[in-house]
Amino acid sequence: MTLRIEIDDLAKHFGAIKAVDGVSFSVSKGEVLGFLGPNGAGKSTTMKMITGFLAPTRGTVRVCGYDVLTDPISVKAHLGYLPEGAPAYADMTPDSFLHFIAEIRGLKGADKKRAVGLAAERARITNVMFQPIETLSKGYKRRVGLAQSILHNPPVLILDEPTDGLDPNQKHEVRTLINEMAEDKAIIISTHILEEVHALCNRNVVIANGKIKFDGTPQELESKSRYYNAVCVNVANIEQQAFENFLSSLEFVANVEKLSGDAGFRVYPQQGRQITAELSEKIRGNGWDIDALHAENGRLDEVFRSITLPNAESSK
């Protein structure tokens, strides 16, 4: 594993406001790090510091071994960045815009032409190359920004909300593109769209109020949910109260919750154990017919809430 991004004790204070307050993590080649957090948590500020746009109040950022404070040009040369909202020069066409980026990135002649063509193809904007960017739809603008960020095939990619405002098809295309590139790059993606945790990332960092609240795999993030490995079960033709008492009495069950309607019960396991098999065996052992039985995944929105709002009730 090659470390591509190393962030140590990074902080940015705006007056009394600590937008980012002591963030440390690193990203290796092959990792797609999903940077999660509510709006205003410090995601964009952190990304702006990594890309050298904002000077940190404290701490260090190294990209491919170059320090962003002492050698910002080398850092910028090694990364591709899609800023929030994908800003571009609105009166240019994607073609002239990408050629400008390619020139600044030091590409010349045939290399330049090839890089622009490939980036346009990968971002799927070949059909709008000669329309002014200001006349393009939001989805196309976003993809022009994406094309710009991947044009020079950078080892590090920083994408600030790359799928924000896209329709489901466009989201799918952008995710496919990112997955294609994931293998040989280190990628940081900020998002507050939780479905992207599974669709895109192999690691997650959750940030709130400028501090890191979680750093781990998507599975680890899910396992923090109280629904993780909970089992929903329904048995037909049975007296509900007796069944609930039976479920509560099982030694591997921590808690039982009645579902609304006559949908049965949700059974919470002791210490996040997998209890589906055991439970089904016990129920059958009593001679009851199981109508429905399924294990739940963790619920990311609930985990997200409980991590980023420490005082909020997690049961909603």
Q: In residues, how long is the chain?
A: 316
Tell me: does residue 111 bind other proteins (CB under 8 A): no
Q: Which is nearer to other proteins, 52 or 218 (CB)?
A: 52
Taking CB under 8 A as the binding criterion, the range among 85-93, 180-188, 276-284, 290-298 that sits at the site for other proteins is 85-93
DSSP state at residue 116 = H
CA distance 96 to 116: 10
CA dihedral sign, ordered 84, 89, 90, 96? negative
Answer yes or no whether residue 87 interacts with other proteins by CB under 8 A. yes
> Minimum Å distance from CB 177 to other proteins?
19
Q: Are the CB atoms for 206 and 214 separated by under 8 Å?
A: yes
Per CB under 8 A, does 83 bind other proteins? yes
Q: Does 34 bind other proteins (CB under 8 A)?
A: no
3-class state of residue 131 by DSSP: coil
Terminal-to-terminal C-alpha distance of the chain: 41
| CA 89 to each of CA 98, 101, 132, 283: distance values in angstroms, whole numbers, following the listed order | 10, 11, 9, 65
Contacts 24+ apart (CB under 8 A), 244-252: 246/286, 250/279, 250/282, 252/278, 252/279
Shortest approach of other proteins to residue 291 CB, angstroms?
A: 55
- Find the part of the chain contacting other proteins (CB under 8 A) among 83-91, 135-143, 198-206, 279-287: 83-91
Classify the C-alpha dihedral 150-184-77-68 as positive or negative.
positive
Query: What are the CA-CA distances from residue 252 to residues 1, 81, 228, 281, 294 (Å)?
Result: 40, 49, 15, 13, 16
- Selected from 9, 103, 111, 195, the binder of other proteins by CB under 8 A is 103
17 touching other proteins, by CB under 8 A: no
52 binds other proteins (CB under 8 A): yes
Per-residue binding string, other proteins, 134-163, x by CB under 8 A, is: --------------x---------------
Coil vs helix vs strand at 233: strand
How many residues make contact with other proteins (CB under 8 A)?
28
Stretch that binds other proteins, among 88-96, 217-225, 272-280, 300-308 (CB under 8 A): 88-96
DSSP sequence for 17-34: EEEEEEEEEEEETT-EEE
Per CB under 8 A, 110 contacts other proteins? no
Least distance between other proteins and beta carbon 54 (Å)? 5
Residue in 53, 227, 246, 288 binding other proteins, rule: CB under 8 A: 53
Q: Which residues in 225-284 contact other proteins (CB under 8 A)?
A: none
Q: Site for other proteins (CB under 8 A): which residue of 28, 57, 60, 96? A: 96
Residue 90 binds other proteins (CB under 8 A) = yes
For residues 45 and 160, give the distance between their C-alpha atoms in angstroms, rounded to a whole number. Answer: 10
Task: List contacts with other proteins (CB under 8 A).
Answer: 48, 51-54, 73-74, 76-77, 79, 81, 83, 85, 87-92, 96, 100-101, 103-106, 132, 148
